[in-house]
Structure 1
Amino acid sequence: MRRFLAALSASAVLAYPLAAQDRSTVPELEDLIPDSALDNPEDWAQQGVPPEASAAENAPAELEPSDPLAEMPLVDVPWPEELELPQVEPLAPEEGIVFADATEQLPALPEGAEQRVSDELVLVFPTEAALFPQRDEFIERFRELSTVEEYDDENSAARLAAQARADETLLQRMLRVYGYYDAQVIRTIGGAVEGEAARSTAPEVRFDIIPGPRYTFGAIDLGSLEAARADYAALREAFEIQPGDPVLSDKIVEERADLDLALGESGYPFAAIADPDLLIDHDRQEGDLTMPVTPGGKYRFGRITSNLPDFMSGEHLEDIARFEPGDLYQRSLELDLRRAIQATGLVGSTRLTLTEAAPPVGDEPGTVDVAVDMTKARLRTLAGRIGYGTGEGFKLEGSWEHRNLFPPEGALRVRAIAGTREQLAGVTFRRNNFHGRDQVLTIDAFASTIDYEAYDARTASLVATFERVSTLLFQKPFSWSIGVEAVATAEREADAEGNFGPRQTYFVGAIPGYAQWDTSDDLLNPTKGFRLGTRLSPETSVTNGEQSFYLRGQGDASYYLKTSDSMVLAGRVRIASIPGAPLSAIAPSRRLYAGGANSVRGYGYRAIGPHNAAGDPTGGRSLAEVSVEARIQTGFLDGAIGIVPFIDAGTVGPSTVPNFDEIKIGAGIGVRYLTGFGPLRFDVGVPLNPGPNDGPVAVYVGLGQAF
C-alpha cells in the first residue's frame, strides 16, 4: 500500500506542470493511474518515476503572467540548525530619566538643595535662593496638583514611574507659568537602603530642577486703552505689568481682572478686554504681551426702569440703589442694586440691562439707563417652630405672612405663640426700604400673657418703629432706630411666700431709641473689631392714679480678637439703669433682669435679680454683666464644628447704681455648627453660686453667637 501511495504522489507531481501549462484542463484520477497499475500495483510502483517526470519535478514551475504568484520570488529558507538570528539592540533609555539601582542610595546633587514633598517625592532646587526665589510657593502649589501625591496608595515602582511622567510634565508647565521657559527637569526613579543588612526601602521619585534664566516681559500692547483719554494714566497704572518685569502667567490673569475692575469703576460700562496672548522669544528671553482693550466710552447713571411697575416700580428701585441719576457709572453699584433686589425676597430672578440714553460728547460722559427685568417669587409664607429655654419653657410659634400685600415691599404678618409660660397673638405691618435703602417702618400690635417666676402679666401693646438696620448683605458701621410705644398691662408679683397678689394695671408710654457703632467683620459670627451700643427710652407710667417719669438706659460693648486661625477671644460688658422713679412705680415687665441665653448663662431667663422671701426675682433698677468666651474651631466636618468654653457674671440691684452685693456666675461650654447663614448655637451652662430656685444646668439653642 505504501508503494501505491508513493506512486500516486509521483504521478501527482508529474501532473502539476501540465496543469500549469493548461489551466483549463483538470486531470482525472484514472488519467494519473493506468489500468496496469490496478492489475499489478507492486510492479507498477517499482518502475519508479520516469526520467522526464523527475526532470519536470526538479525544474521550476512556469506560471502564467496573470497568476498572482507570478511576481513572488522563490524563498530558500535554511534548516533551523543553520539559521543565525541577529542580535537585538537594546532600547535607548527615555530621555530625561535616570533609573537608580535599588541597592544604592539616590545620587545627591552637590549644588542642589533637597525639598522632600513626601515619602515618595523629592524636589531638588539650586542652592542659591536667588536662582529660584518662588521655591516655597512653588512647592506648595505642586503638592496640591501632584499625581504622585494624589494617588499615593501603594508601594509600587511601576505605578510610581507612570505617575512620575505626569508630574514631570506638570513641573515643566509650572516652570513656564513662573517664566522659566528654558528650565530642565531630570527625573530619577529608584529606591534607597538602610542599615548594614542593605534592606531596600520603598521606591521614590526625585526631580532635579534646573530653572535657567527667568524671562521678562518685552513689548506690552493694550489695544485701544489710550482712547480713555483723561483716565488712561490711572487705568494703565491699574495694570501693574511693565516691560522688564518677570513673566508670570498668574500676574497676567490678576492684572487683567484689576484692569477690568478699574474700567468698571471709572465709568466704562461697555468696556471689553480680549484674551491675552503671550509670544515668547527665546533669543531675547522675553515675552511680548498682547491684550486688546476697548474702553467703549464713559457714562453716567440715568433712570432705572422696571418691567413690573405695579409690583416694584422704578421709583422704588431708585430708593434702593446706592446711586443717583447723574452719578458716574460704577459696576459695583450696578451689582449692588441687583443683590439688593434679590435680598427683598420678592423676586425669583433679576436681570439688569444697560442701555445708552445719550452718547458721550468729547470729554463729557454719556448717560446709561438701567432696565430691571424681574420675575415674581412666592410671596406667602407659612412658618412654624418649636423651642425650649430654661426659664422660658417650651414654646410653639406659628406665622403667616404676605411679603408684598401693600406694594412696594409692604408686608403683613400674623403670628401666634403657644407656650408653657407665654401666649401671644399679634399682627405686624412692615415696609422695607422705606424712602431709603435698609430703612424699615414697622407697626406692631399684639396681646400677650406671660407667666414667669418674677411676675405674671396680661399685656396689650402698640409699637411703631422707624429704623436703619444692618443686614447680612450690608453690615453698616452705624445703625439706629426710633419708635413710639403704648402699653396697657395688668401685672402681679409674687409675695414673700411666693403667692401672686392682686393685679395692678399700668399704662405706659415710651419713646425708645437705639444706636450702635459696629466695626466687627461679621454680623452673626464676628472674629475681630468691636461694637458699642446704647438704648435710651424715656417713659411715663400711670398706675393707681399716680403718674411717674423715668428713663430706661442701657449700654453694651463687645470686643473680638482673633488670636489664631482657629481661635477667637470675645468679651462683652453691659450696664443698665432706670433713674427717675421708685421700683414700685415701674411695671415688673419693664424692670431690669439678668439670666438667660444672651445674658448670664447657667441661670434661667430673667432669674437673676432681687428676690422675695420665696426666692422669686422681683427685678431691679440697675444691672451689670460681663462675659468672656473662647471660640475654637475644630477639624471635625471640615472645620464646621466649633467648641466655646465660656464664663458669665451679672448682678441686678434695686438702686439706680449697681452695688455688686450679689454677683451670679455661670460657666459652661457650647458647640457651634457653621452654616452658610451663620453659626447654630448650643450652649450648656452651670450656675456656680445658685440660689434656692436655680436649676443645676441650663440649656440654650439659637442662631448666631451669644454676643
Structure 2
Amino acid sequence: MTQLKPTGQGDLDAAIKASSDLLNLQATHAVGPFALSGRIRNDYDRLRTALESCGYYEGTVTITLHRTGAGKDAVKVDGQSADVAAWIDSVPAKEKIAVDVTVEKGPLYHVGVVTLHDPKTDAPVELTAQQKAAFGLKSGMPAVAETVLGAGGHLLDALREDGHALATVETPKAYLRPQTRTLDIAYKAAPGPVLNIGQISVGGLEKVNESFVRRRMTIKEGQLYQPSQIDAARQDLTGVGVFSNVAVKDGSTHAVNGTMPLDFTFKEAKRHAIGAEAGYSTDLGVRGGVNWTHFNLFGNAERLKLAALVTGLGGSAQQGLGYDVYADFFKPDFYSRKQNLSVRLEGLRQLFWSYQQTALLARAGLTRQIGRYWNVNYGLLAEQENIKQFGVSRDYTILAAPLGAAFDNTGVGNPIEPATHGMRASINAAPSVSLGNKGSGVSFFTILNATASAYLDLTHIGISKPGRSILAFRGTIGSIQGAGTYDIPPDQRLYAGGSATVRGFRWQGVGPQYNKTRYAIGGTSLDAGTVEYRQRILKSFGMAGFIDAGQVGSSSSPFTGTLRVGVGGGVRYYTPIGPIRLDVGVPLNRPDRGDKWDLYIGLGETF
C-alpha cells in the first residue's frame, strides 16, 4: 500500500502521481524483494524529475517503508539504503508493507538569463516582435520545463510561418544558479532564408484529373511559404470528398532558387457507395429506401446520387403509399472555385390527407460562397404535377426562380452532427408562375421565408462541461405575396405541424382545415418557434425537452391564424455518424380531429 502526502500544489501533485511507479503499479500482482527495491530507487529519480519539471530544484523526496503486521512495532527503513531488498525479504510472508512518500518542494526557481544564438556563428539571433511574442520566454518566469521547452517549438512555428522554411531550433541548455535560484537558458536557432513556395508536385492520382486538383489548390507557386496556408490547402482538398488521404511535405532539404518545393500525395477514396435511409413518425409514417452514389464521375469530383424511397406507410397524415425517386448531380467549382452546381430530376407521389400529388420536377441551381460564413444560391425550377384536393383534380405547370442567402457559424460541416454553439440563418424568395392547364388558371406569386436557429452551450455560464448541455432556439416565418390561397397550387401553400415546425401536431395539421376535418387547406402566411433543451448523459445517451408553437394564416401577413402549441421530450443515442433521435410531442390545444400525440424517429437533431 502506497500513500502520497500532498504538497498543496495541484499541478505538482498531478505530476508526482503520474511519475510514481509505486502508486501506479500498486494494484498489480506482488513482486519480489529485489524488484520492489528497484522500483523504490527508480521512484526517487522519477519524483526528482517531476519536481524539477515544475521548477523545484531544491526539493527532497523521502520514501519510508513500514511493517504493518499485528503486534509488531513499525520499522522505518531508509528507502535509499543498500540493504532495502534484504529488509523487505525479512518481512514475514503474511505481513504487508506500507510505503509512505513525502515530497518537500522547496523554493521555486525562475528563469534567469535567456540567450538565443546562431549555432554556426554564435552570433545573437534577431527576432521580429511577432517572433518574440511567440517565443515568450522571459527572465523572471517560473522555470517550468513545459514552458522552457515549449518556447523553442513556438519559435520554430513562428519562424516557419514567416517563410523561414529551413529554420532550426535546437533543444536548449539549462544552467542552474543555486545562489540566485535561477535557471539560465541558452537556445541555438538558425532562421535561414525567407523562401517562397516553389514547384508543387502532385502524386498518387488515378481517376481524379490533375488539372482539377491544381485549380482547386488555395496555394500557388511564388507565394510566401507558410505552413498554416499549406495545411489549409491540404485540408480543403481532403474535404472535396474523393480522397481518403492527402499528405504534403517539403520537397527538398535545401532552398531551390530561393524557393521550397512541395510534394502533395493523394490516396483516392472508393468511387461508389451504396446507402440506405429510413425514418418514422406517426404522422408521415415510414419513409425508407436505398441510394447509390458515384463519386468523381468525370474526374473533377462530380457526384451522382440515385435514390428510390417508399413513403407514407402507416402515417396519420397519409392516405396511402407513395414514392420518391430522384437523381442528384453535384459539380464543385463550376466556372469558379467557390461556386457549386446542383441538378435534380425527381418523380414523386404523395397521398396526404390534405392533397394527393403526382409530380415530375427538374431543378438546377448554383451555390456560391461569399464569405467565411455566408453563401448565396440561385436557380430555376420546373414542375409538372397533378393534384387532387377535396375531390377535385387539377394539373399544374409551375416555373420558379428561387434565390436565397444562408449564414452558418456553428463550425459543423456534417448536417447530422449536432451544433453546440453559434447560429444558422437563411432567407429565401421564389418568384413563381403557375401556368393554366386543365382545371386551373394562370397565377403569379412569390414565396418568401426565413429561418434562424441559435445554440447556447451552458458551459459558458458554468453549468456543465463543453458540449453536454445545450439550449437550442429556432424561428421560422413565411409569406406568399401576389395571389390568394386558392389561386396557388396546394403544394406551394404554407403548412405547419410536424418535426419541422410544431411537434405534437401531425404534418400539415396546423392551419385552416376544410370544414373542421383533417383536410388542411394551407395558407399564405406562417410563423413558428421552438425552444429545446438538450442534455448528454454518460457517453452515448442523451435527452431533450421542447416547446413548439406556430400558426398558419389565410392572409399574407404572418402572426395571424390560430396559434397551436406542442410540448414533449425525447431520448438520444449517439453514434459515430450522429445521434439517433426519438421524440414524443403532445398538443396542448389540438383541433377536434387532431392527433393526441406524435412520435418521431430519425437520425440527427431536428435542427
Name the TM-score, length of structure 2 as normaliser: 0.81
**Corresponding position of 1:631:** 534
Alignment of 1:21-40 (within 5 A): none
**Corresponding position of 2:13:** 139
| 1:185 equivalent in alignment to 2:58 | no
Shift in Å, 1:505: 1.2
**Residue aligned with 2:514, SS:** coil
Query: In structure 2, what residue type is equivalent to 1:506?
Result: Y
After superposing the two structures, state which structure 1 stretch, 401-410 or 537-546, moved more. 537-546
| 1:539 equivalent in alignment to 2:435 | no
| 1:293 equivalent in alignment to 2:189 | yes
Shift in Å, 1:691: 3.1
| 1:385 equivalent in alignment to 2:385 | no
Shift in Å, 1:208: 4.8
After superposing the two structures, state which structure 1 stretch, 690-699 or 660-669, moved more. 690-699
**Corresponding position of 1:399:** 291
Shift in Å, 1:142: 4.4
Alignment of 1:630-649 (within 5 A): 630-634=533-537, 636-637=538-539, 640-649=540-549
**Corresponding position of 1:527:** 420
Contact 2:241 2:301 in 1 (8 A): no
Distance (whole Å) between structure 2 residues aligned to residue 357 and residue 120 of structure 1: 52
Alignment of 1:206-217 (within 5 A): 207-217=102-112
Alignment deviations for residues 335-388 of structure 1 (CA, whole Å, 9 cap, x no partner): 122222222232343332444799588xxxx34443433233220122223332
Distance (whole Å) between structure 2 residues aligned to residue 165 and residue 571 of structure 1: 60
* Coordinate RMSD, CA, aligned: 3.7
Shift in Å, 1:442: 1.0
Contact 1:395 1:422 in 2 (8 A): no
* Identity score, percent: 25
Ranked by relative contact order (alpha carbons within 8 Å, sequence separation 6 or more), the top structure is 2
Shift in Å, 1:648: 1.1
Shift in Å, 1:324: 4.2
**Residue aligned with 1:412, SS:** strand
Alignment of 1:538-577 (within 5 A): 538-544=431-437, 546-563=441-458, 564=463, 565=465, 566-577=468-479
Shift in Å, 1:595: 2.1
**Residue aligned with 1:551, SS:** strand
Contact 1:615 1:691 in 2 (8 A): no
Contact 1:514 1:534 in 2 (8 A): yes
Structure 2 alignment gaps of length 5 or more: 69-96, 314-320
Alignment of 1:390-469 (within 5 A): 390-419=282-311, 420=313, 421-437=321-337, 439-468=339-368
Alignment deviations for residues 423-459 of structure 1 (CA, whole Å, 9 cap, x no partner): 1222222112334555321111111111122211111
**Residue aligned with 2:442, SS:** strand
Pick aligned residue for 2:246 from 350, 354, 371: 350
**Residue aligned with 1:673, SS:** strand
**Residue aligned with 1:657, SS:** coil
Give the number of the structure whose alpha-carbon radius of gyration is greater: 1
**Corresponding position of 1:80:** none
Query: In structure 2, what residue type is equivalent to 1:297?
Result: P
**Residue aligned with 1:558, SS:** strand
Distance (whole Å) between structure 1 residues aligned to residue 510 and residue 356 of structure 2: 16
Query: In structure 1, what residue type is equivalent to 2:264?
Result: V
Contact 1:449 1:458 in 2 (8 A): yes
Query: In structure 2, what residue type is equivalent to 1:177?
Result: S
Query: In structure 2, what residue type is equivalent to 1:502?
Result: V
Alignment of 1:67-466 (within 5 A): 120-125=3-8, 135-142=9-16, 150=24, 170-187=46-63, 205=100, 207-223=102-118, 232-282=128-178, 285-302=181-198, 304-307=200-203, 311-355=207-251, 366-419=258-311, 420=313, 421-437=321-337, 439-466=339-366
Compare the two structures and name the one with the higher strand fraction: 2
Structure 1 alignment gaps of length 5 or more: 1-117, 126-134, 193-201, 496-500
**Corresponding position of 2:376:** 480
| 1:602 equivalent in alignment to 2:602 | no
Contact 2:511 2:561 in 1 (8 A): no
**Corresponding position of 2:86:** none
Shift in Å, 1:263: 2.3
Pick aligned residue for 1:489 from 352, 363, 385: 385
Shift in Å, 1:660: 4.5
Contact 2:153 2:169 in 1 (8 A): no
| 1:705 equivalent in alignment to 2:588 | no
Query: In structure 2, what residue type is equivalent to 1:505?
Result: D
Distance (whole Å) between structure 1 residues aligned to residue 212 and residue 377 of structure 2: 22
**Corresponding position of 2:76:** none
| 1:513 equivalent in alignment to 2:403 | yes
**Aligned residue pair count:** 555
| 1:656 equivalent in alignment to 2:559 | no
**Corresponding position of 1:17:** none
